[in-house]
Chains A and B, each alone.
Chain A
Amino acid sequence: MLLSARKLCRSFGENQVLFDVDLDLQVGEVHALLGENGAGKSTLVKILAGYLRPTSGEVVVDGSQRHYRSSGEAEADGVVMIHQELALAEQLSVEENIFLGRELRRGMFLDRRAMRQQSREALAELETDVDPRARVKDLSTSDQQMVEIAKAITRDVRVLVMDEPTATLTENEVSVLFALIDRLRQRGVAILYISHKLREIEQIADRVTVLRDGHLVDSGPMAGRSKEELARLMVGREITEMYPPRTHLPSDAPVVLEARDMVVPGVVKQASFTLRQGEVLGFGGIVGAGRTALIEAVLGLRSKSAGQVLRNGQPVVLRHLRDAVHQRIAYLTEDRKGKGLVLNMDLRSNVTLLNLRAHCHPLIDRRREEQAFQQAIQRFDIRLRTAARTAAELSGGNQQKLLLAKVMSIAPEVVIINEPTRGIDVGTKHQIYHFIHELTEAGCSVILISSEMGELIGLSHRVAVMCAGVLTGVLEGEQINEHEIMQYASGIKGAEVDEQCHG
């Protein structure tokens, strides 16, 4: 046994989040750690990697008990963690990041050549063409992820903890990552893999441990366990019908939003679409195809060089998101921490921020604000398990619900949702899908941008697919399947794409 945890408990103040959890990691295994948001996964791995100390219980590495006081001590033992939120120094180069804090030296001076050489080797092993001299700031999110992984493998890693490593990766990058995990496994590295994507876990995990509300509910070999069973264990109840039925769309449903010949310099070359009342219009395509840019240009968050937007058939000029709000269009950003929520602000103010004028007469009426907040808690099932005061203290799923409450505060008729379930557990996903269904039943129209095929296929009435800034096609009915979407997303089918699609 390489690493084992025995009866780990951890409390924050009076609030216990981990109860007598055991975990064993063997040499050369991929061990999946599952659980809903707030189940205690992050706390557990932070203890293992030395970022947190347990309230009670012990961590045993190589047969002897360890009391890590810092992540540095754990790393010296070969226990390395790759964070969910990338922890890179943006202004430094790739190689400077890889060796940050443990620079190679020759005498007093940095041994740049050796560091570049080793960085290059590590990056080559990851099959990525990232230049070691590039500045991290200039890299895409997925390349930054690769740098994080390179940073881990240049250390003498024996236990690698990966927290949601594929959340921001494209399909291709995921397969490269899995091949790498396979090689690490053969080298005898134990990998503790946290993910919400059960399909991935089915693909790569040897063993699996499931946490629920801080308790260990199941642990054992992956073989013989189905996705459905794991989902049930995580949530603690049966999840039937992940995707609700589609709302019936009358053939004469009016067009509520239309975009014509949109061009955003450098990102969107040509795109037009229509959205009908009560419809879910999916937007598929690989990361960087221009879906977010197109939608943000429609909303006035980005400037466009050409194009026209029509609301209920009338041309409208949306120069600022405020104009879109006046048109009863709500936008749920994909970046809930960077763009969606004011993390250090209290929960109530976050919910009312978008529609604050409804609570002003003319001074802010804090009592009415509080009422609105309480209603939002009920409606969106925001769970305040701890006495969380600020948005930063909520789990990912609850943050997403808080963001949903915020954008729904304007009582929109058109809701544009960008990656609604990124980094979110099965239970919350299920709730969000049903919420989208309720919206369309109530006559709202929804645009759904998603990189999860299952979501697009399961929820959309029609799917618009983009490739390299061009809207290549809009799929309907039987056409909505993984194969067709990929064909359009890669530019093989549909409208001319003058530049080669990459990804």
Chain B
Amino acid sequence: MSSVMANNKTTNKAANQMIKQKGFAIDLKTWGPFVALVVLALLGVLINPAFLGLDNLSNMLTRSAFIGIIAIGATFVITAGGLDLSVGAMAAFIAGVMIILMNSLVEQFGAGLTTVLFGVGASLLLGLCAGFINGMVTTKGKIEAFIVTLGTMGIYRSLVTYLADGGTLTLDWAVRDIYRPMYYGSFLGITIPVWVFLFVAIVGYILLNYTRFGRYCFAIGSNEKVAEYSAIHVDRIKTMTYMLQGVCVALATIIYVPRLGSASGATGVLWELEAIAAVIIGGTMLKGGHGRIWGTVVGAIMLTMIGNILNLTDAISNYLNGTVQGIIIIVAVYLQRASWRKAAP
């Protein structure tokens, strides 16, 4: 911006004014989700002071970690102009394979750390492969991401149902005892899932804002042709976003499995929509070219917070969780669009 002043002194004042106006509008856009989160939290406190209890907050953040971690991956996919509907089914499938693998390894390695590490490794590998498939079919096959991931969603969902033979896959009890701390344990008073969430968010933030990969995601999401004419390997970058998404799903699954110790055809249902909702509430544009990691983090926390607040009050039935979430998604996006309009000259 300093260039403006250096270059043309006569319009200096006008330019400064413009910067101020825009600065304000940008602030609104950037801080909108945070403001909404604070408002929601205040509402929570008013409804029930227990909301602010350490246990409640910790529980809430831990629960938001699954969707949050997946949504950070989704932020990359959506910023680069793609979409991944398969994440919920992918999580269920990965959870299923993990459980079967770990159960069968108990005989060989016993119910020890080795078995769990194999499970974790397999999960990451599966996530990476599943993302690679989504990315390759989308880019090389030149099929819309919506269609491809709708297809793989159905595939993964039916695969886990098949593996569980229509029922539920249950993790060996002995393994479960060792694996338990991954979800229930804590470090420095903060639960492990929240640490993972924080770690993924920080890595995601740096990737998106301070690396070529992130910048290329913005460029591709804005205009794929321009990206191509800027010597960017468009297909490669897009595939990488899906692979990153796959790894995020794997990480979320790794901390999810010890929570219930089971997987079935009903695991992770609608997670994809919750993840997309978190991304959108956070201010990322569904059409691509504009993404924000911290917004996504806030979005994921907000979604969980709504359920949490409804749990703490009798005023609104818990069954209306979806209604409240839906309203908040629409209002959040409406407010963001309104500030967009103000920002345009």
Contacts and interface: CB of A to CB of B under 8 A. Distances in A.
Given A322-B231, A339-B225, A353-B230, A15 B290 contact: no
B223 interface: yes
A419 interface: no
B345 A393 contact: yes
Contacts of B218: 342, 345, 349
A354 B8 contact: no
B329 interface: no
Count class of interface residues, chain B: 35 or more
Given A339-B226, A363-B210, A383-B7, A353 B215 contact: yes
Contact of A389 (B22, B227, B232): B22
A364 B233 contact: no
If over half of B's interface residues share one DSSP class (helix, strand or loop), that class is named, otherwise mixed; here it is: helix
A325 interface: yes
A384 interface: yes
Interface string A1-45: 000000000001111100000000000000000000000000000
A343 interface: yes
B212 interface: yes
Given A342-B222, A342-B226, A384 B345 contact: no
B52 to A, nearest CB: 37
21 contacts: A13-B345, A321-B230, A322-B231, A322-B233, A331-B229, A339-B229, A340-B226, A342-B289, A345-B218, A345-B222, A349-B218, A362-B211, A363-B210, A364-B212, A377-B7, A383-B8, A384-B4, A384-B8, A384-B15, A387-B15, A406-B230
B8 A333 contact: no
B158 to A, nearest CB: 35
B229 A342 contact: no
Interface in A396-418: 406
B11 interface: yes
B212 A338 contact: no
A494 B3 CA distance: 51
A15 B11 contact: yes
Interface of A: 12-16, 301, 320-322, 324-325, 331, 333, 338-345, 349, 353-354, 356-357, 360, 362-364, 373-374, 377, 383-387, 389, 393, 406
Contacts of B226: 338-342
B222 A349 contact: no
Contacts of B227: 342
B229 A14 contact: no
B345 A333 contact: no
B290 A13 contact: no
Contacts of A356: 212, 215-216
B13 interface: yes
A393 B15 CA distance: 13
Interface in B1-23: 1, 3-4, 6-8, 11, 13-19, 21-22
Contacts of B231: 320-322, 324-325, 354
A16 B289 CA distance: 31
A387 B233 contact: no
Contacts of A386: 11, 14-15, 18, 345
Interface in B196-238: 206, 209-212, 215-216, 218-219, 222-223, 225-233
